[in-house]
Structures are given as C-alpha cells and as structure tokens.
Amino acid sequence: MFKKEMIAMLLAGGQGSRLGVLTAKVAKPAVAFGGKYRIIDFPLSNCINSGIDTVGVLTQYQPLRLNTHIGIGIPWDLDRNVGGVSILPPYEKSSNSEWYTGTANAIYQNMNYMETYNPDYVLILSGDHIYKMDYEVMLDFHKANKADVTIAAMPVPMEEASRFGIVVADNDGKIKDFEEKPEKPSSNLASMGIYIFSWQVLKEALIQLKDQPNCDFGKHIIPYCHEKGDRLFAYEYNGYWKDVGTLSSYWEANMELIDIIPEFNLYEEFWKIYTNSANIPPQYIAEQGVVDRCIISNGSEIYGEVHSSVLGGSVMVGKGSVIRDSIIMQGVRIGENCVIDKAIIAEDTVIGDNVVIGIGSEVPNRTKPNIYSGGLATIGENSVIPAGVQIGKNTAISGVTTAEDYSDGVLSSGETLIKAGDRV
Amino acid sequence: MRAVGIILAGGNSRKMQELTARRAVAAMPIAGSYRAIDFALSNMTNSHIQKVAVLTQYNARSLNEHLNSSKWWDFGRKQGGLFVFTPTITADNGYWYRGTADAIYQNLDFLRKCHEPYVIITSGDAVYKMDYNKVLEYHIAKKADITVVCKELAPGDDATRFGTIRMNEAARIEEFEEKPMVAHSQTVSTGIYVIRRRQLIDLVEHCAEEERHDFVTDILIRYKNLKKIYGYKINSYWSNISTVDAYYRTNMDFLRQDVRDYFFRELPSVFSKVSDQPPAKYNPGAVVKNSLVGSGSIINGTVENSVVFKKVFVGNNCVIKNSIILNDVYLGDNTYIENCIVESRDTIRANTRHVGENGVKIVVEKNERYAL
C-alpha cells in the first residue's frame, strides 16, 4: 500500500463572483496574477517547495482553463509515478450524486482519493490566496503540539479583525474559541483557511457530518472538532499573505509587485513560483517605448508607454498609447494612441486605436456597486473595444462590443456593458 | 515516421574566442531566451521527427544541462526520444570523435537499430526554421543520394567560412569547396543534409575503413561525382553563429520586427527549456529603447539597441549600448557597456567601463558577487 505522510487537498472549485467579469468564464484560481502566473500557482508551488508531492485539486466551477493549466503537473514537478497532482471534479455515484455543496463536502466526496495514499496528515488549502508558506514547518508545529487540527492564522490590525474569522488562542497557540466576523474581536488572529488535520480526526469528522447541508470547514468541521474536545492549535504566520477575492484587493496585490523592493518578492531563488507558460520569446521594447516602474512578461512588445503596471505575456502596446496603474493580461492587444488608466484587462482582449479608459468622475457602478469599485475599469477576456471610444471608472465590459454600444462613443462611469459571444 | 534526426553539436569554434571557453557552440544563448540548438530541435519536432540523436563532445556541460529533459521539445516519447551521445571508450574504439563522419560511425548502432528509411543531419549552430519534410520530399523527387540544403548569401557576406557550392541547372552539385581561401560562389552549404539511412551507414562504414573521418571532405566532396548530390535552396532566414561577429549580428537581427515576427509569432513555434523566471521588472530610472529583455531581469538603468538575456541585473545609472548581456549577469551601478558581449554569470563591479573599440569586445569578469 502506498504511504504519503501528508497530502494536500486544494479547493479550487469556487467561482469568485466578486471578481466580476474576470471570473465569468474561469474559476478564480485560474485568474492571471503578477503577469505570467495564475492564482493557483502559489499554493501549488508552495506544495512542491514544502516537499508535498501529492495534491488533489478539487474543481467544479468552469474548470477548463484550470485543467489545461495544471495538465499533469509538469511545471510544478507534480508529474509523479506515485502521487503527483490529480484533478478531482464532482462525479456520478451509484446513488446520491451531487455537486460539491461546501468545502468539507467536496473533501468528503473524495475520501477514496485520500485513502489511496494512506496519509497521516491532510493539508487543506484554498486556491485563492497569494503567499509563500512552508507547510512542512506548519506540520512540525502540528506534530510538536500533538495537535488534531492546526489552523494557520495571521495577525491583522485590530480594527480590521471584525472582517475575518478570528481564532482566540492561548500563549502556546492552543485554540480556546472562535469568532466569525465578530463585532468586538477578542483577538486579532485571523484564520487563513489553511488547515492541517490528522487524518483519523478529519475522516471521523467528515463521516459524522456527511449529512450536514453545505458542509463547510469554517462553519461545521472546525466547530465540531472544537466542541468534541480535539486539540486545535493556531499556527501563527507572519509573512505576506493576500486574499485576492475582490477586484480592489486583486488590483492592489498586483500593484505591490512593482515596488522597488516588493514585500512579496518573486525574484528569490530559494522559493520559486512555478507556472505553466507557453511564452518563451523575450520581450521587446521599441525605440519610442517607455517602461517605468512595471513588470512585463515574456513575448510582449511595447511601442508605447507603460507606467506602474503589470503586463502578462505576449501583450502588444501600440505606438503612442499610455498605460498607467493597470493590469493587462496575456495576449491583450492595445492599439495606437490609447490612454488607459487604472484598468484590469483580461486575456486576449483587443482594444482599438484612440481608446480612452478610466476617465470621468468616480460614480459607483449602477448594477453591482460592491464588485466594480475603486475607480477600476474591468474588461473581461476575449472582449473587443472598438476604436475611439471612451470608458469611465467603475465600469465593466465583456464581449465583442461595437461602436453602436457606446452612445456618443462613451461608456460613462458606473455603467456595465456585457455582450454575449466571443471574439472570432 | 520517415526520418530520424542527427544534430551535430560537438563543435568548438576558435572564432568564437572566449565565448566557447565555457560551452559548445550549440549551447550559445540566442535572442534573449533560447540556445542555438533549440532551433534545430524545434525544427525536428515541428517536422514530426520523433527520434533525434545529439552528438556532442566539446565542453558539453552547458549543453547537457540544457538537454536534461527532452520534454520541452516534446521528445520524451515511447516511440522515439532524444538521445545524447558523447564519445565513449569501447573495446574497439578509444578515440574522441575525430570528425563528423567518425561521430556518426561511433554511434552507428543507433542508426542500425532505427527502422525509419531516411536521416536528417543538421548542425546545432544555426538559427533558422525549416520543415525538413519539404527537403525530404525534394530528395525523393530528385532520386538523390544526398541532398544538401544551401543558402545564397548576400553579396559581400563572407562565404569563405562555409562550404561553397556550385550547382548545374538541375540543382546537382558540381563544385563543393570546403572553407576556400577565395569563394567562387555565394551559395553555401548550411550543414543540413538528407540521406537514406542505409546509404549513410554504407558511406560512413566505408569512410571508417579508409581512416577518413569528415562528412564534408571525405563524403560530400569525395563522392560528388559518383553519387547524386543535390542542392536545396532555403530562402527564409538562416544564420550560422559560429564566429563572434556572426553571433553578434544574429542576435541583433532579432531587433528587427520581421525577424521577431518570423521566429516569435509565426507558427510553428521555437521551443526551449522553460526557466521559471518571473517577469522582467523595470524600476524607476529604467530607460529601454529598441532592445530585447529576457525574463527575470531587473532593469534600473539605460539599455539601448541591445539584447539582455534572462536574470540580468542592471544597476542604477548604467548605460548599455549595442551590446549583448548574457544570462545571469550582474551590472553594478554606473557601469558603461558599449559594443560588448558580456559573458554569462559575470559580475561587473560598479563604475566599470567596457567599450568595444574595433569591433565587438567580449567581457569576461569573474568577480565575487555580493549583492542580490
């Protein structure tokens, strides 16, 4: 029988609806980040860098991009004879087939997968955080405390603590209590959604709660273990960790990468982030090109100006165009003499000449003010923006748009323009 | 599949000066992201040739490291694969490869065991894209014994470092001079050959019996009146990199949009080993004009008309002009580099000045690296 000390289960099935048009066609973990990467690259790279070579990736929402990205795991060295990466979608069973209804339910439905590897410990991860963490150190902590469950937690400013799931622990890290988004938090240790379970404890809890609707780790499994008197410990983590669940936090996390010495440093040799990248050619900066405080990925060609931005691979920036404070993903083509301020432009979108993005005043988005905020203009993948139009702030665009979609050639701040159909 | 591939990557070139002190010519970095052999390997895989032997002997460490996995070129297959053959001492042979024909002779078992009827032979030191199947079809149509791919050099280009060729109207090769003192023709051999496998085995065995070792002088030139040797002209981009000058010019060619489009955008793609470097980073103060920049580089200074490879650090107020900076070079603040090729993994101290006065200067500095 195979034996793996610890295997990882990576929850990658969520839509991430707060990323708006960015996740209209892909699951959040497959959204591009930091130029050449996708969000899931960070937990996957952490796994292999921590010596975990068996990773189950649970997918459900729009998994195509995720599946092609992960493949058989070659970029992360997760193509293994025993173990490696396995994609685990929901599947039909002889009775009682269902989707993954909650994080713990998804894990429960893959009990057989975990049993195959006969693990001592199971690491539960989510595919939507940007961080570097050595899970092996966390496992050592788990073992040293003879813990049943270890929850990674990080200190957050006290005034923000009421936005998180808070763990209250004593000096040794033993967890005394939980508070879910408390009004008056009694601790500032926020749970990061990273758990190590001793296998028997996890198995027992999953079986006990198998009939719990929408069974969730934070809401059901952890409280169950706590009430039962299991040894729960908080593993305090003090490095860089960023939830990129909203457009604003996603934009900020990208922008942090262009600081002179970024807090989250991709250039360190000893903890590399791996990704599946088809872009091999170098980038070209033309005679009249300007590159100032930005990161640009392989294969891009810059004929215009790029300031304070993050560019993916094979991006074309035409002559006379000026890009500022923006995230431009792989394969985007930007015409000539465009001015783009504070925009997020998803993959393979085509922007015509003389387009202006990010003008006007900050009017809240009319349909989804909570999603499209922060003054960002967000354009979904494979969209087309016709030449000469102007686009305001807090806007969202997706699909092939034509000049007729813009009254007087303008999409004013706060508007949303979603068209069906892909670019052909 | 109809053909197997052989890439002759054993060579050293004294004309590359210090650059090949560290590596075989086939392992020379090209165009910011590649190594020379990537072009031949990618052509092989794009021509659906699945079984490829790379023959190497000189300073092969860099090359072996580059070829440590065949998956980047899609060769790691049950049917076929990438074979790297260095000379080995056996019961009947105690020599290094004494020439190209000898290199093939020493690995004749590889050819004997194949079942594919044809062999494509190419060198590992040229930058080009080619569908070898087209040459193979030509070879079959001509009923040729050997087909030599040749290139018409531009008037004024130095043909004397190549084998020069003259063909008749039917494209049969009538004259073939290896590295002549005076070139009578601007048509040169590219070192790409198509030959029937059995034919190659016979010729190479015969050569070995006569203690001859070179494929060009002892087979092509010697047999040109006996065997039907035809020329096939390549009209697309082809550049051999085996002198410092040619190497420099080939890299600089990639600053031209047509060359970039041809190699970087048009299909089929050129593959290379994936290096897992982060995107290139431009800090405030970076001025980059008409230059290629590889991934993982961090630019703080000025770069003009240059090719900067992967993982290069350019310090504050540096000025780099008309130069090639190879992989993993660290340039301290206020460095001035003009008309140079800076060897990979070099560390250039702050305030250094290197200018190639008469032609390209090769910079090899082995300073300790403190920063990064």
pLDDT at B20 over 70: yes
pLDDT at B170 over 60: yes
Q: Does A255 touch chain B (CB under 8 A)?
A: no
Q: Using the beta-carbon criterion (under 8 Å), do A34 and B260 form an inter-chain contact?
A: no
Q: Using the beta-carbon criterion (under 8 Å), do A292 and B286 form an inter-chain contact?
A: yes
**Identity of the residue in A74, A295, A296 whose CB atom sits nearest the CB atom of B71:** A74
> How high is the pLDDT of residue A161?
86
Q: Using the beta-carbon criterion (under 8 Å), do A281 and B280 form an inter-chain contact?
A: no
Q: Which two tokens stand for residue A124?
A: 């539960």
Among the residue ranges A6-10, A287-291, B76-80, the one predicted with the least confidence is B76-80
**In chain A, which residues have their Cβ closer than 8 Å to the Cβ of B31?**
281-282
> How high is the pLDDT of residue B370?
66
What is the full DSSP assignment across A68-118?
HHHTTSGGGT---SSSEEEEE-----SS------SHHHHHHTTHHHHHHT-
pLDDT at B1 over 60: yes
Q: Using the beta-carbon criterion (under 8 Å), do A301 and B260 form an inter-chain contact?
A: yes
Degrees (nearest 5) of the Cα angle A286, A292, A297? 65
Share of chain A above pLDDT 90, in %: 86
Report the DSSP beta bridge partners of residue A232: A149
CB atoms within 10 A of CB B313: 23
**In chain B, which residues have their Cβ closer than 8 Å to the Cβ of A297?**
279-280, 295
The continuous run of DSSP H or E covering A395 comes out as strand A395-398
> How high is the pLDDT of residue B80?
85
Q: Using the beta-carbon criterion (under 8 Å), do A298 and B283 form an inter-chain contact?
A: no
Residue A112 is which amino acid?
A: N
Euclidean distance between CA atoms A113 and A91, whole angstroms: 13
Q: Using the beta-carbon criterion (under 8 Å), do B295 and A75 form an inter-chain contact?
A: no
Q: Can you tell me whether residue A231 is helix, strand or coil?
A: coil
pLDDT at B256 over 70: yes
Mutate to test the interface with B, among A48, A291, A292 (most CBs of B within 10 A): A291
**Residues A285, B270 contacting (CB under 8 angstroms):** no
Euclidean distance between CA atoms B175 and B164, whole angstroms: 8
Q: Can you tell me whether residue B140 is helix, strand or coil?
A: helix
Euclidean distance between CA atoms B57 and A138, whole angstroms: 47
Question: Is the whole model's pTM more than 0.90, yes or no?
Answer: yes
Chain CA centroid to CA B192, Å: 12
Residue B51 is which amino acid?
A: K
> How high is the pLDDT of residue A303?
98
**In chain B, which residues have their Cβ closer than 8 Å to the Cβ of A310?**
279
> How high is the pLDDT of residue A421?
62
Share of chain A above pLDDT 70, in %: 99
In A93-198, which ranges are E strands?
121-126, 129-131, 149-155, 165-169, 175-180, 189-198
pLDDT digit string, tens, across residues A149-194: 999 999 998 888 888 889 999 999 999 998 888 888 889 999 999 9
Q: Looking up tokens 């063909």, which residue turns up? A: B167
pLDDT at B275 over 90: no
**In chain B, which residues have their Cβ closer than 8 Å to the Cβ of A323?**
none
pLDDT digit string, tens, across residues B305-355: 999 999 999 999 999 999 999 999 999 999 999 999 999 999 999 999 999
**Identity of the residue in B282, B290, B303 whose CB atom sits nearest the CB atom of A286:** B290
Q: Using the beta-carbon criterion (under 8 Å), do B282 and A292 form an inter-chain contact?
A: yes
Q: CA of A257: which chain B residue's CA is closest? A: B281
Among the residue ranges A18-32, A336-350, B41-55, B92-106, the one predicted with the least confidence is B92-106
CA proximity to B84, closest of B116, B34, B124: B124
Chain CA centroid to CA B213, Å: 22
Q: Using the beta-carbon criterion (under 8 Å), do A291 and B269 form an inter-chain contact?
A: no
> How high is the pLDDT of residue A96?
78
Q: Using the beta-carbon criterion (under 8 Å), do A281 and B33 form an inter-chain contact?
A: yes
Q: Does A42 touch chain B (CB under 8 A)?
A: no
> How high is the pLDDT of residue A422?
56
pLDDT digit string, tens, across residues B102-116: 999 999 999 999 999
> How high is the pLDDT of residue B151?
96
Arithmetic mean of pLDDT, A371-380? 95
The conformation of residue A230, written as its DSSP 8-state character, comes to: -
Q: Using the beta-carbon criterion (under 8 Å), do B296 and A267 form an inter-chain contact?
A: yes
Pairing of strands A189-198, A165-169: antiparallel
> How high is the pLDDT of residue A258?
95
Distances (CA, A) of B113 to A236, B166, B207, B213, B321: 61, 35, 20, 22, 52
Q: CA of A293: which chain B residue's CA is closest? A: B283
The conformation of residue B90, written as its DSSP 8-state character, comes to: B
Report the DSSP beta bridge partners of residue B176: B165
**Identity of the residue in A74, A288, A291 whose CB atom sits nearest the CB atom of B282:** A291
> How high is the pLDDT of residue A423?
53
> How high is the pLDDT of residue A15?
84
pLDDT digit string, tens, across residues A238-266: 999 998 989 999 999 999 999 988 999 99
Arithmetic mean of pLDDT, B242-248? 93
Arithmetic mean of pLDDT, B65-82? 87
The conformation of residue B279, written as its DSSP 8-state character, comes to: P
Among the residue ranges A281-295, A356-370, B76-90, B163-177, the one predicted with the least confidence is B76-90
Pairing of strands A189-198, A149-155: antiparallel
Arithmetic mean of pLDDT, A393-412? 94
Q: Is the ipTM of this complex over 0.90?
A: yes
- CB within 8 Å of chain B, chain A residues 204-243: none
Q: Which two tokens stand for residue A73?
A: 């795991």
Euclidean distance between CA atoms A149 and A169, whole angstroms: 13
**pLDDT confidence bin for A268, thresholds 50/70/90:** confident
**Residues B278, A295 contacting (CB under 8 angstroms):** yes
The conformation of residue A336, written as its DSSP 8-state character, comes to: S
**Which residues neighbour A270 within 8 Å (Cβ) at sequence distance 6 or greater?**
none
* Burial of B282 per CB tally in 10 Å (0-12, 13-18, 19+): buried
Q: How far is B250 from chain A (nearest CA, A)?
A: 15
pLDDT digit string, tens, across residues A357-369: 999 999 999 999 9
> How high is the pLDDT of residue A223?
92
Q: Using the beta-carbon criterion (under 8 Å), do A284 and B291 form an inter-chain contact?
A: yes
Q: Using the beta-carbon criterion (under 8 Å), do A285 and B288 form an inter-chain contact?
A: yes
**In chain B, which residues have their Cβ closer than 8 Å to the Cβ of A273?**
276, 278
> How high is the pLDDT of residue A366?
93
**Which residues neighbour A121 within 8 Å (Cβ) at sequence distance 6 or greater?**
A5, A6, A7, A139, A142, A196, A197, A198, A199
Q: Using the beta-carbon criterion (under 8 Å), do A35 and B34 form an inter-chain contact?
A: no
